[in-house]
Amino acid sequence: MIELNNVKKSYGSTKALQCVSLTLETGKIIGIAGENGSGKSTLLKSLAGVSPIDSGSILIDGKPVSRKDAERIAYLPDADMFYPYFTVGQMFAYYRSQFADFNEVKAKEVLDFLEVPLSSKMKTLSKGMRGRAKMAATLGRESRYYLMDEPFSGLDPMVRGDLVKGLLRFTDLERQTLILSTHEIREVETLLDELVLLKGGNVLAHRQLDDIRDETGQDTVEWMTKGTKAGAAG
């Protein structure tokens, strides 16, 4: 379980997160949504221990989060963080050297499923193929928590569909939790159990998707749009 209590984070005069309190349970696929600048990336960086918070607390399985949590959290940033001259196989070797929980057999299985050659150089791959390779490396870790920042950004619908299938196939929700930020809510709506809606560093709502549909009669995008404009989502 992940617990955030009154978390604040600023970059200079910009308040990225303002008194954010959330409880995210294990065994869920949870979407983080909101406009640009709403705090999505900062929230994931804070959960991963990459960006220290200014105040409040973040507990993962009852322990305060820190940079050491890279050992138990698989974090996929939006930006490319790999040497461009690496082949996909060399990227996997790097992961194996850095993370004790990296399962290269599983990573290669994901890579095969997503149809990316192991010998390909990262710099020669299209953005969509790099996205597939990065997801294979991330899912190759046997972590309890996967954090993915905009994993579908800039990809065509066919590629997004393949990645969604990969997430479903290679995530074990009996023991793992997947938290992802995305602008492509309509593409992943059927994948998600819960949605956290952010605006201006604040949590507007944290709802089960089934409850949204049952209570409002709206799909998630309609609910989000009305909630964001109103400043609150019920």
Rounded to the nearest 5°, which phi and psi values hold at 74? -95, 110
Greater model confidence, 104 or 182: 104
CB 33 within 8 A of CB 181: yes
Digit-coded pLDDT (tens) for 99-154: 999 999 999 999 999 889 999 999 898 888 888 898 899 999 999 999 999 888 76
| Mean pLDDT confidence for 48-59 | 91
3-state secondary structure of 132: helix
6 has a pLDDT exceeding 90:
yes
pLDDT digits (tens, 9 = 90+) for 74-107: 999 887 777 778 999 999 999 999 899 999 999 9
Q: pLDDT: is 24 or 222 the higher one?
A: 24
pLDDT digits (tens, 9 = 90+) for 10-22: 998 889 999 999 9
Q: 2-230 adopts what CATH topology?
A: Rossmann fold (3.40.50)
**Average pLDDT over every residue of 204-225:** 76
Q: In what order do the strands lie in the sheet with 177-181?
A: 73-76, 145-149, 177-181, 29-34, 194-199, 202-208
What are the CA-CA distances from residue 45 to residues 70, 78, 102, 117, 171 (Å)?
Answer: 11, 11, 20, 30, 21
Q: Do the bridges between strand 29-34 and strand 194-199 make them parallel or antiparallel, or are there none, so unpaired?
A: parallel
Q: Write the CB contacts of 196 (distance below 8 Å, at least 6 apart in sequence).
A: 22, 30, 31, 32, 33, 203, 205, 206
Do the beta carbons of residue 141 and residue 133 sit within 8 Å? no
- Alpha-carbon distance 83 to 91, whole Å? 8
List the chain domain ranges: 2-230
